[in-house]
Structure 1
Amino acid sequence: MHPFAFLDEIALMSVAAVSVILIFNRFKIPPIIGLIATGLILGPSGLALVAQDEIIATVSELGVILLLFTIGLEFSLDDLKRLKNIVLVAGPLQILFSTLVIGAGATIVATWTSDTIGTKGAMLIGMAMALSSTAICTKILKERRELGLPHGRAVLGVLIFQDLAVVPIMIIVTLMSPAAALSIGDIALRLVTLVVVTGGLIIGLRLLLPRLIPYVTRVSTPEVLILGGLAICFGTAYVSSSLGLSMALGAFLAGVAIAGGEEGHAIGRVLEPMKDAFTSIFFLSVGLLVNIDWAWMPVNIATAVAILIANAVVVTAILMIMRVNLRTAVMAGIILAQVGEFSFVIARAGLDYGVITEFGFQNMLVSIIITMIVTPTLITLAPRLAERAAPAICFVPLVRRWYGQENDDEIELNRFAGGEDGPVVTIIGAGVLGRNVASVLRRTAIPYTMLELNGETVTELRRRGEPVIQGDMTDEQTLIHVGVRNASVIIVAISDQTAIAQGVSSVRKLRPDALIVARTRYAKEADIIASRGADVVVTEEYESSIQVFVTVLEHLGVERDIISAQEEVMRLDHYGLLGRLQRSQQ
C-alpha cells in the first residue's frame, strides 16, 4: 500500500503540537494556544511546511461538529427553553450592535490607512467580527466546569443565536456582490424557508431520535455505540447542511434531542476521545490559514484590541439591559469578546463575492486569530476582571437605579443539574438535612444535584422540580452519574453509617480535591468517617450538646461573647476533625 499524501502532514502536525504544548504547559499556557501556535509555526507565516488543504479543513470541521454534538448532549429542550430570552433577544441585539460599532470602526481605520472599503465592506467586517468562537468558548468553559454556571449559560445562549445567524449573514453577503440581482421577494423567501426548516428540523429530531437511540444503546458492544453515535452526529449534520443550515448547529440540535438520559450520556462518553482529536486538528488549522504581513502587525493588534473591547462592551450592555446579574453580564461580555471560526467563512465569502480584497481578507484573518489566541487568558481572568469592573459600573447612577428597581422578570441563568460539567454541590441523601441544604443552595443560586435511595422520595422530589437521581452512594458508577467527579463540595446526609464510610471512600477516590462534609450521629463514628476521607464530620451528639448549653446560657443572661467563646472551646476540644480544621485555619 502507498502512503496517503496527507499522512506526513498529519504526523508532522501531531509531533509539533505535542512538543509545543509540553513547552507551553511548563509556563501554564493553555493547550488551545499551543495548538494555534503550532499552526502558525508550520504554516505560511512560519516554516511553510504545511498548508491547510481540503483534507485538513474537512477534518477540522468534523471536530467542530463533534464538539457541538457532545455539548448538545449536556442540555435538554427544557434547559434551552429557559434560555429563550437570551437566544431570541440578546443574540439578535448583540449581532446588530456589534456589526454597527465594528463596521463604523472599520470605516474609521480604513480612512486612516487610506484604504477604501466602502459601506458594504464595513458592513461585512462588522458582521464577521460580531460572531464569537463557539468551539473555543464551549471547550474552555467545559474544561473549567463553567459551561453550566450563570455566565456560561448566557454565553451559550448568545452563541446559539450566532450559529443560527450564519445562514442569514451569508445571504446578506451574496446580496453585497456587484453581480447580485435578488429581489426583495427572493430575500424574504430565503429567510422564511430558513425559519421553517430550522423549526422542522428541531421537531423532527425531537420526535425521531429518542425512538431510534434505544436500538443503538441496548447492545453492549462498544463498537455499536461508537458507530451509532457517529451516525446520529454526522447524519444529522448532513441533513442540516442539505437544508441550508450550519452542520455544527444540526449536530448540536441532535445532541439536545437525545440529552438527559443514560443513552446520551453513554454516547458522549465513548465519543469524547475522538472529539478531542478532531478538535485539536481544528485549532491547528486556524494557525495554518494566515500569511502574516509583519509590517501591518501593529495595526492588526490594535484592531484586535478594539474588536475585543467593542464586543465585550456590547454584550455586557445588552445583558445588563435584560437585567442579568451584573457580574454575570461582565463575565459573559469578556468571554464572548473574541471572533470565531464562522468569521473565516464569512470573510472568505466576502472575498469570493468581491466585497473585500485579498489584502483586507488576510488582515481580517490575522486580527481574528489574535483575538482567539488571547481568549483562554481572558476567560481565566474573567472572574477577577468582573469583580473589579462590576462595582465600578455600579457607580454610574443610571446603572445603580436600573439594578435597584424591583424586578420580577430577572433572567434566571442558574446552572441546570447534571451534564458533563456537573454540579457545584452534590447532596447525598434527601432527608430533612439534605432538603434543607438544597433549599439554601437554591435560594443562593448555587447549582446542585441530589442522590437518594428511596424511590418514592425521588418521585416526590422530581415532581417538585428537584435535580435528584435514585441510587446508592456505595456504587461508584452511581456517584459518577450524579456528578461527584466534577462537584466542588459533596455533602453526605444519610444515616447508614456503613454506607457513609464506604461511600466517602469512593467519593474521595473519585474527587481527591473536593470538600467532603459528612454527618454522623455519634462521636465514636466521626474518626472512622474522617479516616475514610471526609474533610468535615458534623456530629449530632456535639451539635445537640452545644445547642443545649447555648440555650441555657442565653436564658441565664450570659453575655454573647462569653457564649461564643465557650462554643468555640467545645468545638476545638471535642469536635474531632472539624476542630483540627478550624485550628489549621487560624
Structure 2
Amino acid sequence: MQQIAIILGAIFIASVINIILKRFDFPTIIGYILTGVIVAEFFHLNVHNTEILEYVSEFGIVLLMFTIGLEFSFRELKVMKKEVFVYGALQVLITGLLFAFMATLLFSMPLRSAIIIGFALALSSTAIILKILNETGEIHASYGRKALGILLFQDIAVIPLLLMIEIFTKDVPLQALILQTLLNMFLFFLLLYILGKYVIDRFLHYAVATKNQEIFLLAVFFVIILSAAVAHYFGFSYSLGAFFAGMLLAESHYKYQIEADLSPFRDLLLGIFFFSVGNRIDLSIIVDHFGQIILLLTGIMLLKALIAYGIVIIWEQKRTAFKTALTISQVGEFALALFVMAYGNKFIDETTLQIVVSVVVLSMIATPFILKNLKRLADKLFKEPVRELIIEGGHFNNHIIVCGYGPLGKEIAKVLKHKSFQYIIIEHDLKLYEEGVQNNEPIFFGNAAQRNVLQSLDVKNACAVVMTFHNLEKIRLVAQAVLDMAPNAHLVARVRDEKEKKVLEDLSIADIVVSTQVLSKEMMDRLLYCHI
C-alpha cells in the first residue's frame, strides 16, 4: 500500500510541476527530474533500491534510441551533407577532445573516464532544440538548418560513444578487443539485415494487414526488443540494437505510423528515465559543490558556443554563426544516459555523477530562455548584414517585388517567370540569395524592412509587394516600411490561421492569404472531384 501511495504521489507531483513549468515554456524533462529529486528526498524512494524502476527507465532509453534511428534519413543526410558532416563532425570532435583534455588536466581523471565525459558534454539537446525551433518556425531559418545538421551528426556520434563504453568495460588487450568488436559488429549488422529483409518487413506487413492498431504496436515492440536482444547477444548495449532497428525501419512504409503509435509510450518511459535521473541526485552533494557546478555550467556552455561559432563562421556570416552557436550550447538528454551508464560501469564516482547531471539539468533549464531571446542578443551584437544593391538597366516600373526566396518564394517566381511578369526578389539569407543567383533570378541581397533597400527597388512604382514568409513580426515590419513609402501599395501576405490574420488587421494589407483556408479548399475540391 505504501508503494502505491508513493507512485500516486509521484504522478501527482510530476503533473503539477509540469503544468506550472509549461506556463514558462520549460520542457517536461525538467519536471520529471525535479519530481525524482522530491520523491528521493521526501519519500526516500530511489532507483538504488527499486530494481523494477531501473529496468523500466532503461527501456525508456531503448525507445529513445529507436526513435532517433527512425528519424535517421539517408535522404536528409544527402541534402544537408555540409551541415552534418562538416559542421557536425568538427563540433563533436573538437568539443569532445577539448573537454576530455581538460578533464584529465584540471581534474586528474583517468583517460577512459575523461573521454566518455568529454564527448558526452559535446552533445546537445535534440528534444528541446527541435521542439522550440519547430514551434517558432525557425527550423527553416539559416541558423536553424545549421543547428539541425549538427544535431543529426550528434545523433550519429551516439553509436561510437556507446561502442566506446562497451570497449572500455572489457579488460583485454585493445587491439584484440577492437578486432573482436568489429567482427561482432559485422555479424550483428549481417544478422539484422537478414532479419529485416526476410522476417521483420514481412512480419510487420502481416500485422498491418489485420487493421488492428494493438497488434501492429505489439509487432513493433517485438522488433525493438528482438533487435536489442540480438545486439546484447553480440556484446553490445540494448540501446545500440534499438538504434539500428530504427534505422532499419526509417526507409520503410511504416515509419510515420510507428512514430505516431510509439510517441506516447516513448514520452512516458522517457519521463520515467528522467525521473530516475532526478531520483539519483543527492541535494547535499549539490549544495557542497554548488560553486563548482555554476562555474562548470558557465564554462561548458561558453566553450561549446565558442567552438561552434568558430566552426560555422568559416563558411557563414557572423550573425548566423552566433545564433547557431547559442542554440547548441546546452548539454543534451543523451549525455544523462551516458553518465548513468558510465556510473554503472564504474568509470565515474557518485560525486562526479551528481555534479555532471546537475550541470546538464541547469543547461537545459537555461535553453528556452536563450532561444527565446536569440534574435534580441544577435541584434545587440551584430548588425543586420547589408550588401549594396546594384540594379542594372535603369528604373523599374509596374513590377512585382517578391520578399523571400524560400519554398513559397521560389514557386511564385516560377509562375511569374512563366507568365512573363516583371518581378524582383529580395532575400536576406545569404545561402538562398546565392541559390537565386545560380538560378539566374532577378534577386538582390538585402533586408526588405529597410527603407533604403525598398527605395532602390522602386517600391513606389511597384504594382504589388508579396511577402512569402510567415513570421508575423517580419510581415509587420516590411508592411509598415512599404506603406510609409507607398501608401497605396498592393500588399499580399500569408498567415497560418484566422488568429494571425486578426493580428495584422490594423495594417492596410490588401490581401492576406490564410494557409489553412486555402489548403482546406484545395483538399475539398480534390475530394469532391474524386466523387464526381
Q: What range describes the TM-score normalised by the shorter chain of this pair?
A: 0.5 to 0.7
CA distance in 2 between counterparts of 1:331 and 1:202 reads: 40
- Compute the displacement of 1:10 (Å): 3.2
Cα separation, partners in 2 of 1:263 and 1:145, compared to 1, 3 Å: farther
> Which of 209, 213, 217 is the matching residue for 1:226?
217
Alignment-derived partner of residue 17 in structure 1: 14
- Compute the displacement of 1:220 (Å): 1.9
CA distance in 2 between counterparts of 1:370 and 1:215 reads: 46
CA distance in 1 between counterparts of 2:28 and 2:381 reads: 28
The question of 1:270 aligning with 2:261 is answered yes
CA distance in 2 between counterparts of 1:329 and 1:162 reads: 22
- Compute the displacement of 1:63 (Å): 2.6
The letter of the residue matching 1:298 is G
Alignment-derived partner of residue 91 in structure 2: 94
Cα separation, partners in 2 of 1:235 and 1:383, compared to 1, 3 Å: farther
> Which of 290, 294, 299 is the matching residue for 2:292?
299
Give the alignment of 1:523-562 within 5 angstroms.
none
- Compute the displacement of 1:325 (Å): 6.7
> Which of 145, 148, 155 is the matching residue for 1:160?
155
The letter of the residue matching 2:362 is I
TM-score by length of 1: 0.58
The letter of the residue matching 1:63 is G
- Compute the displacement of 1:141 (Å): 5.4
The letter of the residue matching 2:229 is Y
Cα separation, partners in 2 of 1:94 and 1:567, compared to 1, 3 Å: closer
2:87 and 2:150 in contact (8 A); partners too: no
- Compute the displacement of 1:18 (Å): 0.8
The question of 1:313 aligning with 2:306 is answered yes
Alignment-derived partner of residue 42 in structure 2: 47
CA distance in 2 between counterparts of 1:201 and 1:424 reads: 42
Cα separation, partners in 2 of 1:434 and 1:252, compared to 1, 3 Å: farther
- Give unmatched runs, 5+ long, in structure 2: 388-405, 420-424, 433-466, 476-482, 494-500, 509-532
Cα separation, partners in 2 of 1:131 and 1:174, compared to 1, 3 Å: farther
Q: Deviations over 1:9-42 (max 9, x none)?
A: 4322211101112233344443332222222222
Cα separation, partners in 2 of 1:244 and 1:309, compared to 1, 3 Å: farther
The letter of the residue matching 1:219 is T
CA distance in 1 between counterparts of 2:69 and 2:418 reads: 30
Alignment-derived partner of residue 27 in structure 2: 30
The question of 1:196 aligning with 2:186 is answered yes
Q: Deviations over 1:77-110 (max 9, x none)?
A: 3223444555555455333322332234445654
Alignment-derived partner of residue 59 in structure 1: 56
Alignment-derived partner of residue 131 in structure 1: 123
2:91 and 2:307 in contact (8 A); partners too: yes
Cα separation, partners in 2 of 1:68 and 1:172, compared to 1, 3 Å: closer
CA distance in 2 between counterparts of 1:250 and 1:20 reads: 34
The letter of the residue matching 1:284 is F
1:351 and 1:358 in contact (8 A); partners too: yes
Alignment-derived partner of residue 478 in structure 2: none
SS at match of 1:217: helix
Q: Deviations over 1:207-233 (max 9, x none)?
A: 455444332222222212222232233
Alignment-derived partner of residue 501 in structure 1: none
Cα separation, partners in 2 of 1:144 and 1:245, compared to 1, 3 Å: farther
SS at match of 1:337: coil
Cα separation, partners in 2 of 1:251 and 1:190, compared to 1, 3 Å: same
- Compute the displacement of 1:289 (Å): 1.7
Q: Deviations over 1:529-554 (max 9, x none)?
A: xxxxxx9xxxxxxxxxxxxxxxxxxx
> Which of 67, 76, 80 is the matching residue for 1:79?
76
Cα separation, partners in 2 of 1:30 and 1:159, compared to 1, 3 Å: same
2:87 and 2:149 in contact (8 A); partners too: no
SS at match of 1:339: coil
CA distance in 2 between counterparts of 1:108 and 1:251 reads: 36
CA distance in 1 between counterparts of 2:197 and 2:379 reads: 44
CA distance in 2 between counterparts of 1:328 and 1:200 reads: 42
1:173 and 1:350 in contact (8 A); partners too: no
CA distance in 2 between counterparts of 1:441 and 1:187 reads: 58
CA distance in 2 between counterparts of 1:190 and 1:210 reads: 30
- Give unmatched runs, 5+ long, in structure 1: 111-115, 401-422, 447-489, 492-512, 516-534, 536-560, 572-578
Q: Deviations over 1:444-500 (max 9, x none)?
A: 789xxxxxxxxxxxxxxxxxxxxxxxxxxxxxxxxxxxxxxxxxxx99xxxxxxxxx
Give the alignment of 1:468-507 within 5 angstroms.
none
The question of 1:185 aligning with 2:178 is answered no
Identity %: 27
Cα separation, partners in 2 of 1:375 and 1:366, compared to 1, 3 Å: same
TM-score by length of 2: 0.64
1:138 and 1:156 in contact (8 A); partners too: no
